[in-house]
Amino acid sequence: MENNESMSFIDREIEEIEEVISLAENAGISELELEEEGKRIKIKRAVNQNSPPLEGLEKEPVSIEENNYEKIVAPLIGTFYRAPSPDSPPYVEIGDIINVGQTVGLLEAMKLFNEIKSEIAGRIVKILVEDTQLVKTGQVLFLVDTHFEKPTSG
Amino acid sequence: MRDKILRILKEEKGVVSGRALSSMFRCSRTSIWKHIKALKEEGYGISSIPRFGYRLYNIPDLLLPREIKEELSTKFIGHKIYYFKETGSTNDVARDLALASEEEGTLVIAERQTKGKGRIGRRWVSPFGGIWMSLILRPRVSPADASRLTLLSSLAVCKSIKKVVGLPVFLKWPNDVLIGKKKVCGILTEMDSELDLINFVIVGIGINVNMDMNVFPEGLQKTATSIKEELGKDIKRIDLLKSLLEELERLYLLFTEGKFSWILKEWKGYDCIFGHDVEVATLGEIIKGRAMGVDEDGALIIKGLNGATKRILSGDVRLWWRQGDSNP
């Protein structure tokens, strides 16, 4: 019994350290030190010097919510625009019902512009990126509810 | 037949009789006269001399398809041309054509654009006298590599201006073509793709050729220029356009053969910001540092003030001249 308890204590410690590591990784920092109630966790990470970090690239937060919906991801790395021009309304808003092939955003890399087209139909429930944010290939941009009740006419 | 009549008039350089033409083409003299009338409407200067015939005295300064195709040495670029005296945006026309399965190499050209497009909704001033064109390409490469086409296109413009006009030209990452410190050409590339397949790419190229500075809004006069302004005289736009199409095809074929490194090597030879201190306006942030050229993908490398290097895929580069620096 006692033995079991001490095991789980160690497990908890490991879990905590793992958390700190992933925190450092996500933030892209090489050194992180946390102190709490006489406990201190310090980690150092080797950061790859050969490939400079891409300016403005942020890790997307992972949430359980994503699993309940279909995703529209960035087909390429680049700057994400929600509208065709700063004066235009966004391609889509939360709550909008979209069709297959509908343009939902614009990506730009080195002045090549690429319209992001949805491969699914449904209702936009969440937009995970900001206008003019740098996104990476495969990053989730929109969550789409594909099982919602379609409003019937009349 | 109209092309053939024109060719005969060009070759003869003198008067060609209507009767000779009608017997040559086995048609009535009225039919010949109709073709002549149509050519005159296109802008050709043809005088009709009663009892003698027709004489070509002026080929218009227009980017007419048949003039472009004459002795054009490309394999596929510019073999099909959609020509407009005026249109909204050549990119929009090309896009609609590409969506309707128009083939690779097809060119859309306009003497004037009423809604010339710049980046993200910006306007592009496109009066008569420039070259406003859009090219349909269907490269069989990964969509991730398509942005390389913007560097490729700027190099083609740069080389053709140098060759035909002889002015010193420079490139500013990613695809601005400069004479002195002023922009002479803008390139807007649009892609339509699936996850791992390019449907088409539209390369829109706008070159300020025979344009007076007063056509630009005041705000643009400090940053934009034209070939006429720099050279002090008009040039034959058609010669520049033909050279550009040939250069575009040569570089595009290298690109599709996987030889982008060759293109980059040439591109680097015109890089006017290399080694200079610049500021890059990216998304809500301005990065200052020294431009260290481009990497193998064509991304810009900036060495920051703290010594760290950054890779930039998107942003406007401004030259941030230090005192004592010379111009590029």
Question: Residue B195 belongs to what domain range?
Answer: 65-268
Pair (A40, A85) in one structural domain? no
Pair (B123, B177) in one structural domain? yes
Pair (B104, B227) in one structural domain? yes
Pair (B103, B244) in one structural domain? yes
Pair (B100, B237) in one structural domain? yes
First to last CA, chain A: 66
Pair (A80, A113) in one structural domain? yes
| Within-domain flag for B325 | no
Q: How far is CA B47 from CA B5, B36, B40, B53, in A?
A: 14, 9, 9, 8
Q: Given an 8 Å threshold on Cβ–Cβ distance, is B191 in contact with A112?
A: yes
Pair (A78, A135) in one structural domain? yes
Pair (B69, B18) in one structural domain? no
Residues on chain A bordering chain B, Cβ-to-Cβ distance under 8 angstroms: 51-56, 75-79, 81, 84-88, 106, 108-115, 119, 132-134, 137
Pair (B93, B23) in one structural domain? no
Q: What pLDDT does B194 receive?
A: 86
Pair (B298, B170) in one structural domain? no
DSSP H/E element including B243: helix B237-256
A72/chain B closest Cα distance in angstroms: 11
| Within-domain flag for B327 | no
Pair (A36, A86) in one structural domain? no
Q: Is B256 on the interface with A (CB under 8 A)?
A: no
Pair (B197, B285) in one structural domain? no
Pair (B168, B28) in one structural domain? no
Nearest to B300 by CA among B276, B326, B324, B325: B276
Domain at B40, CATH number? 1.10.10.10
Q: What pLDDT does A58 receive?
A: 52
Pair (B172, B109) in one structural domain? yes
Record the tokens describing residue B69, joined without a space.
């195709």
ipTM of the complex: 0.85
Q: Which residue has the higher pLDDT, A83 or A37?
A: A83
Q: Given an 8 Å threshold on Cβ–Cβ distance, is A110 in contact with B299?
A: yes
Give the count of alpha carbons within 13 A of A130, CB side only.
8
Question: Would you say A66 and A143 are in contact if contact means Cβ atoms under 8 Å apart?
Answer: yes
Mutate to test the interface with A, among B124, B147, B267 (most CBs of A within 10 A): B147
Domain at A133, CATH number? 2.40.50.100
Which chain A residues are Cβ-neighbours of B150 within 8 angstroms?
A: 110-112
| Within-domain flag for B105 | yes
Pair (A79, A130) in one structural domain? yes
Q: What pLDDT does A4 receive?
A: 43
Pair (B184, B304) in one structural domain? no
pLDDT tens digits, B17-55: 988 999 999 999 899 999 999 999 999 999 998 888 999
Mean pLDDT of A36-46: 61
Mean pLDDT of A10-16: 56
Nearest to B130 by CA among B267, B246, B224, B66: B224
Q: What pLDDT does A63 receive?
A: 56
* DSSP-derived secondary structure for A58-86: -PPPP-GGGGGSEEEE-SSSEEEESSSST
| Within-domain flag for B326 | no
Number of domains in chain A: 2
| Within-domain flag for A59 | no
Pair (B37, B148) in one structural domain? no
Domain at B303, CATH number? 2.30.30.100
Q: How high does pLDDT run on average in chain A?
A: 75
Question: What is the count of residue pairs from A and B with beta carbons less than 8 Å apart?
Answer: 98
Question: Residue A18 belongs to what domain range?
Answer: 2-44
Q: What pLDDT does B121 receive?
A: 74
Question: Would you say B299 and A110 are in contact if contact means Cβ atoms under 8 Å apart?
Answer: yes
| Within-domain flag for B124 | yes
Would the pLDDT of A1 be above 80? no
Q: Is the peptide bond before B139 cis (omega within 30 degrees of 0)?
A: no
| Within-domain flag for B236 | yes
Pair (A80, A117) in one structural domain? yes
Q: What pLDDT does A11 receive?
A: 56
Dist CA A147 CA A141 (whole Å) = 19
| Within-domain flag for B213 | yes
The CB density around residue B196, as the number of other CB atoms within 10 Å, is 9
Would the pLDDT of A57 be above 70? no
Which chain A residues are Cβ-neighbours of B143 within 8 angstroms?
A: 75-76, 114
CA nearest to B308 within chain A: A52
| Within-domain flag for A13 | yes
Domain at B70, CATH number? 3.30.930.10
pLDDT band at A132 (very low <50, low <70, confident <90, very high): confident
Q: How far is CA B247 from CA B120, B159, B162, B171, B253, in A?
A: 27, 8, 12, 16, 10
pLDDT band at A72 (very low <50, low <70, confident <90, very high): very high
Pair (A137, A74) in one structural domain? yes
| Within-domain flag for B242 | yes
Record the tokens describing residue B214, joined without a space.
């007063």
Q: What pLDDT does B326 receive?
A: 40
Pair (A72, A137) in one structural domain? yes
Q: What pLDDT does B273 receive?
A: 92
Q: Given an 8 Å threshold on Cβ–Cβ distance, is A114 in contact with B314?
A: no
Q: What pLDDT does A22 receive?
A: 61
Q: Strands A97-98 and B285-294: what pairing?
A: unpaired
Which chain A residues are Cβ-neighbours of B187 within 8 angstroms?
A: 111
Q: Given an 8 Å threshold on Cβ–Cβ distance, is A55 in contact with B282?
A: yes
Mutate to test the interface with A, among B89, B95, B119, B120 (most CBs of A within 10 A): B120
* SS3 assignment, position A89: coil
| Within-domain flag for A100 | yes
Q: Chain-centre distance of CA A29, in angstroms?
A: 18
Number of domains in chain B: 3
Q: Strands B107-110 and B81-84: what pairing?
A: parallel
Q: Given an 8 Å threshold on Cβ–Cβ distance, is A113 in contact with B190?
A: yes
Q: Which residues of chain B have pLDDT under 70?
A: 283-284, 320-328
pLDDT tens digits, B292-324: 999 998 999 999 988 899 999 888 888 765 433
Q: Given an 8 Å threshold on Cβ–Cβ distance, is B146 in contact with A112?
A: yes
